[in-house]
Each structure stands twice: as structure tokens, then as C-alpha cells.
Chains A and B, each alone.
Chain A
Amino acid sequence: MKKLLLGNEAVALGAYEAGVKVASAYPGTPSTEITESISKYDGIYTEWAPNEKVALEVALGASIAGARAMACMKHVGLNVAADPLFTSSYTGINGGLVIVVADDPGMHSSQNEQDSRFYGRAAHIPVLEPSDSQEAKDFTKLAFEISEAFDTPVMLRMTTRVSHSRSLVEPGERMDCGLKSYEKDADKYVMMPAMARARRAILVEREKKLQEYSENADLNKIEYNDRSIGIIAAGGAYNYAKEAAPGASFFKLGLVWPLPQELIKNFAVSVERLFVVEELETFIEDYIKTLGVEVFGKEYFPKIGELSYEMVARGLKAAGVKHEILNLAFENSIEVKASSIPSRPPALCPGCPHRGVYHVLKKLNLTVTGDIGCYTLGALPPLSSMDTCICMGASIGNAHGMEKARGEDASVKTVAVIGDSTFIHSGITGLIDVVYNNGAATVIILDNSTTGMTGHQEHPATGFNIKGEPANRINLEKLCEVVGVRRVRVEDPFDLEKFERAVREEISSREPSVIIARRPCALLKRNRSKNPPYYVNTDTCIACGTCLEMGCPAITNTDVVSIDESMCAGCGLCAAVCPTESIARGDMHG
């Protein structure tokens, strides 16, 4: 019986059926559910690694040892893992090795919109791109076969809409592929110059063979229909194009690197006009142009953000494609006469421990170098307490750089904020830089005991592994001390006065300091405490707006200031800042 699975769940099922033995990953939207789903299958060792580089190294080690292995990450995670990626292409594999990378066109939950296909081309490894959940499963299994047939790591490229869409999947049986024998082979696995030079030649030969494979692979499919236009597309973009031009001829690519030159040329001459529909960069389009084939693409379709069927249909219409083969349903939508619709940005949850931290940082008017996580939402009004957010771990290096550029005057007005999971991922090295190079940065580790934004994954400092079993816990205080930070303190971000005092003391100190702002995420099940909700006494409330400045979604201001009982987590921060003591806990209601 077919199942309705997320693309990410289907990749996990494909890994299970392909006989994968080891999977390692760091969470990152939109890739997280792949590894979460794999962890639920028996017979696969699954782990959260501290970061994507380690995850890929673990998967490569497992592959060299003879197991089928997988590493999963979001697009920006591949930047972190790029170092082992490029050289794993040289070593090749023993057991099949698949690297799943989920891109995020439209930046639903990311800091940039990079296109991972270029990594496949640059590292000379094949890239497969599924368009729905059935393909996600099938291509995952195929990726392991290609990996072993060509002695190469294989990239499976997902995008948000493929990862996070459910569609029908036919489950199959797990294949028992056992362990391949491991034999020491320094020429293949020790990449020092003499050996790497030889492997480089092998890699170039391998890519030629993969090129030939792409000309005959079943996963590249031509569907002839009306031949006035032909459309080349892959992955999610194929779905939009197919919907936009149901009557057109299609060349659907399943393997997006290497690309099948001959098939593309043949398809081009069999249609009157050739279009490429792809999200993000002109990856396929540029390649086709180098073949000397006339092709249309981004002059008609947006280069920025996600595509949709109507964007493709509008583009084809503008290109003069006959209407009979297009789907112009967008011309039949209703008209809504609304003047302006207020935005609804995401916000820190009611009861979020980060709110206390940002309230203090804003009050002290500090420059705050930020990082990647839920707490990045502190950059938005009304807290507006973040100056930078670049990539995982950047907050500490950024703060150190600001200090070195502007000196002590800047340093005493600057703090870095970074989550506990992010600190483990890549904040530690930044902190070492501060200590080593005589910085005086103040780092606030927002320790909410989980990886929050991606949906509560464990990490090395939570004391639990991916299956929720007890694990060795990294002690953040000791870790900072052993790196050489002498001023390490743990504070409760809900004790506003004490927390403010701690920040004041640490920014004025002339050496590196770390404040661990420790309080579990309000949504974390194992720590959730049921505090009674707070209420506003409207008789004494002067509607000054101080509580609204906390940016809590439970507090509203329609006619009077009030607290939504069903949303209030009972943290009491609003009561703590209220100048007229008009907010009190529900159970103290007179």
C-alpha cells in the first residue's frame, strides 16, 4: 500500500531499503527530517554530529570501512562540509556514499539561497535531483548503485518543496548488502600530493564515464508532445513547468550533473524552441549555451526565489508560446479589494528564554553580533537587538574583528550571542581565536538545551543522543574554561536584574568572558513546566507599552492591553518590566 510521505521521509526510506548502515548529520531546515526518520529504522547507526564537516567525515569513514553510508545537510551545511567533499571525490568510496543536500530557494529558513549543484560540478561528483517523494526514494537507492559502480560519492540534491511535500510512495524491502571487505590502500585513501595526483587523473576519467552514463540513464526522460516548444527541467522546477505547459515537450533530467550533451542536442533539434526552467542559478542553461545550442531561460523566469507554475506560465506567455499548450488558470483568480495587509513575521515564542537576554541587551544599547537559530528573531522589532547574522558560529569572530578594528571603546559596547548547539557546531574555534589573540570579547551562549529552530534536536551538550537515549554530555562551562576563558558564569535570563549586572560586569572586563544564559526552551517537552498564565489589571494599567516592547505574541493591544491566557507560558517577564505593577500571575488574582 502506498504511503503519503514527506520527500525527506522518502529519502530515509530509500536509505533503509538500500541497506545503509551509518548515517550522520547536523540538523538544518529543510533537511532535518531525513536523519530524524532514518534514526527510527532498525539496523542503521544514526547520529547527530557536531557539524556537517564531521558528519561527512564520519560517513566517509564508514564508507571506506565497507558500509553504505550517508551524510545529510542543508545547503549552507555543505559549505562547512566542503573540505571533505572535495577530497572524498579523489579517494572515491568503498561502500556506497551519498551526500544529501537540501537547498532552500526562497529562503524559507536560511540566510542565503545558494545553489548546491555547483558543488557537484566543482567536486566532479554526480548530482541526482528528485521531483517528488517516490523519486526521492528511488533516486536515493540509485545513488548508492551509481556510487559503487563509479567509485564516487554521489550528491542527492533536494529543495524545500521536494523535502517538505508529501506525495505517494510505494515502500519496498530492505536489501542486505553486508559490509564490503576493508583493505588498506594508501594510494586510494591517503591524499598526499603523489597519491592525489594519480587520483586526480582517475577522477577526470571517471567523469567521462559518468558523462556516457548520463546519455543512457533511465533517470533522464524525454516526453514528446507539441513540438513548438521543448522544456528541459529537473526536480521541483519540472513540476511547475509541467503544470504551466501541459502541452509542451519535456526533457526531464534526473541526473543534473554531468549533463547528457548528446541527448540535449538531439532534443534541441527536435523542437522549435528550447527553454530551460530551473530554480536559482542558470546552471543547466549556461551548460547548454556552451554546447552552442540556442536556449531561453532566465530572461523569462525569475532568478530569485522559488518558482511557481504561474511564474513559468507567465514567462512562456511573454515569450510568445501559443496559449493552447499553456495553463493560464492564474487569469481566473478572484479579485480581492484589500488596501494593505499587515505582515506577520515569526517571533520568539511566549516563554522564550531569549527574550530576557534581548531585553537587557537592548536596554544597555549594545552592539550585538548574532548567529543562526531561533534567537536570530531577536533582530526583529520590537527587540531589534542584533547587528549581524552571517553563518553558523560567525558571531564570535565578528565580535573579535570589531574589537580589533575599533579598539576597547567598541569592545565594551559589544557582545556576541550564540546558541548552545551553534556554539558546539562552530563557535568553539572563534572563542579560541579570542583567547589566543588577546581579545576581550563577551560571548553570551544562549543555552536553551536544544537545537530549537529546526524542531528540537539533541546535541552534544544536552546529554541525549538522536534516539533520546542518555549520552555523554559536554559541559559548556568547563569547555570554555579549558579553552582559556577565565571569566565564565552561568546566569538565568529570566532574572533580569542579575542578568543585567552580569552583562555590565563582563563587557567592562578586559579579558574574554562567557555568560551562559541557561534556561530550557519553552517548547521543550521534558522541561516544560506549567506556570499559571499572567493577566493585566486594566484598572491600574496606563497602557505605556513597556510590556509590548518585549515582543511577546501572547500580549495584545486591541482596545486594552491584555494577555491571551491560552498562549501565555507564565514566564513573568512582562510583569517584571511593568512600571505600574499591573501584571500579575493568574493564581494571585485577587
Chain B
Amino acid sequence: MADTGILIVGVGGQGTLLSSRILGEVALYSGFDVKVSEVHGMAQRGGSVVTHVRFGKRVYSPLVGIGQADFILAFEKLEALRWAGYLKKGGMIIANARQIPPIPVTLGLQKYPEDIDGILSGAATTHMVDASKIASDCGSPRSVNMVLLGVLASRLDFEKELWLKVIRETVPQNTVEINTEAFSRGYEFLQG
């Protein structure tokens, strides 16, 4: 696999950090140099958050720069749009179909853009995933992050077994079953 950059974007509190840690560990197990840049502090309080994951032979910057993202994994649609410009030509967007209106939109001060699907599809290969519904079907609405990680995993050249091993090592013991199920459902999403 060539040097790879992935942006995981969403709303603070959605579980983006856990996904990026699992992805980072999988790349580490596979022998790559890895950097994962996280957001802590103020931005976690419901604001727009972005985690950068890069792996390859030798990674310097921990940030996926403009034109360096092979994938954008978005936990919320508007956040996919916000970060789309970082995608390199030929890159892929995987986005949760869910909309979470930011407070300025709720207050009527700004407008949630219409037709985000169309804008993104016109710019790059885009897969909209109803991850919230899939997660609920698996018995845990909070496992949205695993569903989306599963979709991403199906487009990367790591063995599925390795992903499952890292998930088992990372998530709380009593949630392993739900999380691996949610991951597998995501993994199959694009194969179908």
C-alpha cells in the first residue's frame, strides 16, 4: 500500500477518536510508520472535529494536508462537505447519511446546505451510508463508528481478521460482540 492519508471527521462526542486509534493500530501491526493526530479540549464539546491518520514507509507530518487525503470518513454529512477539499483527485468519501444541525442552524442564523450528496458526488467518488440505522439494527446506536470503520476497512488492503483482532483488543469487553457485528455489517456494505 502506498503512503495513505485518511481524515476522520465528525461532531465532538461521536467516537471518531476510537476509530482513528483502531486504524492506527492496524497500520502499526502491518509494519507501517504511523501518525495519528487527535483533537482534545474545547473542540470536543460538540464542535467540528477532525482526526488525521497517515501511514506509509516514513511519515513526517501528523496532519493530512490539502490534496493528501485518500479517504474522508465522515460521521456527519456537513462535516464531509467541510473537509472534502482535502481529498486528492481519485480519493473517496465515505459519509454517514445522518444530519446533525449545528447550533447556528438551529437558531436560524445559518442554513444547512441542501443537496450535500449531489455536491460531494459531483466532486469525488462518494458513498453515503445510513450508518445510524445499521448501528441500531445491530443493537447499539453508539456503534456508528464501527459501521463506518467497517466500510473504510473494506477499501483498504488489511486483512479483515486483523481489524477484528484490534477491535477486540481496544473496545470494552462487554461491547466486543456488538462492535464486531457493527464492523462486519459496515465491511459488507459496499460488497453487496
Q: Which residues of A line the B interface, CB within 8 A?
A: 2, 4, 6, 29-30, 32-33, 108-109, 132, 161, 164-168, 236, 238-240, 242-243, 308-310, 329-349, 374, 377, 380-382, 453-455, 545, 548, 551, 553, 555-558, 566
Question: Which residues of chain B in 51-72 are interfacial with respect to chain A, using CB atoms and an 8 Å cutoff?
Answer: 59-63, 65-68
B139 within 8 A of A: no
Closest B residue by C-beta to A32: B40
New A-B pairs, 5, CB < 8 Å, besides A166-B34, A166-B35, A239-B61: A30-B40, A109-B43, A310-B65, A329-B66, A338-B119
Contact of A165 among B37, B89, B99 (CB under 8 A): B37
Closest B residue by C-beta to A167: B35
B150 within 8 A of A: no
B113 near A340 (CB under 8 angstroms)?
Answer: yes
A239 near B47 (CB under 8 angstroms)?
Answer: no
Complex-state Cα separation, A336 to B69, whole angstroms: 14
User: Cβ of A30: which chain B residues have Cβ within 8 Å of it?
Assistant: 40-41
B38 near A6 (CB under 8 angstroms)?
Answer: yes
Q: Interface extent on B, as a size class?
A: 35 or more
B111 within 8 A of A: yes
B119 near A337 (CB under 8 angstroms)?
Answer: yes
Closest A residue by C-beta to B116: A338
A381 near B85 (CB under 8 angstroms)?
Answer: no
A548 CB, min distance to chain B CBs, angstroms = 6
Complex-state Cα separation, A2 to B110, whole angstroms: 47
B106 near A557 (CB under 8 angstroms)?
Answer: yes
Complex-state Cα separation, A102 to B24, whole angstroms: 24
Interface string of B25-54 (1 = CB under 8 A from A): 100100001111111111111111000000
B176 within 8 A of A: no
Complex-state Cα separation, A566 to B124, whole angstroms: 32
A-B contact pairs, 13 of them (CB 8 A): A4-B24, A4-B36, A109-B43, A132-B35, A165-B35, A238-B60, A239-B62, A242-B61, A332-B67, A339-B113, A342-B111, A346-B44, A349-B13
User: Cβ of A338: which chain B residues have Cβ within 8 Å of it?
Assistant: 81, 84, 113, 119
Assuming the A-B contacts A344-B11, A553-B103, are A168 and B33 also in contact, with contact meaning beta carbons closer than 8 angstroms in the complex?
Answer: yes
User: Cβ of A555: which chain B residues have Cβ within 8 Å of it?
Assistant: 106
A186 CB, min distance to chain B CBs, angstroms = 43
Main SS class of interface, B: mixed
B119 near A334 (CB under 8 angstroms)?
Answer: no
Complex-state Cα separation, A30 to B40, whole angstroms: 7
Closest A residue by C-beta to B84: A336
A84 CB, min distance to chain B CBs, angstroms = 26
User: Cβ of A33: which chain B residues have Cβ within 8 Å of it?
Assistant: 40
5 smallest A-B Cβ distances: which pairs? Answer: A109-B41, A29-B41, A346-B47, A165-B62, A333-B67
Closest B residue by C-beta to A109: B41
User: Cβ of A453: which chain B residues have Cβ within 8 Å of it?
Assistant: 41-42, 45
A310 near B123 (CB under 8 angstroms)?
Answer: no
Closest A residue by C-beta to B111: A342
Assuming the A-B contacts A132-B35, A165-B38, A240-B61, are A342 and B102 also in contact, with contact meaning beta carbons closer than 8 angstroms in the complex?
Answer: yes
Complex-state Cα separation, A489 to B26, whole angstroms: 54
User: Cβ of A343: which chain B residues have Cβ within 8 Å of it?
Assistant: 48, 102, 104, 110
Complex-state Cα separation, A310 to B68, whole angstroms: 10
Complex-state Cα separation, A343 to B104, whole angstroms: 7
A342 near B45 (CB under 8 angstroms)?
Answer: no
B65 near A308 (CB under 8 angstroms)?
Answer: yes
B123 near A334 (CB under 8 angstroms)?
Answer: yes
A553 near B46 (CB under 8 angstroms)?
Answer: yes
Interface centre among B24, B84, B103, B111 (most CB of A within 10 A): B103
A345 near B40 (CB under 8 angstroms)?
Answer: no
Complex-state Cα separation, A348 to B103, whole angstroms: 11
Complex-state Cα separation, A551 to B106, whole angstroms: 9
Contact of B104 among A308, A342, A558 (CB under 8 A): A342
B4 CB, min distance to chain A CBs, angstroms = 13
Question: Which residues of chain B in 69-94 are interfacial with respect to chain A, using CB atoms and an 8 Å cutoff?
Answer: 78-79, 81-82, 84-89, 91
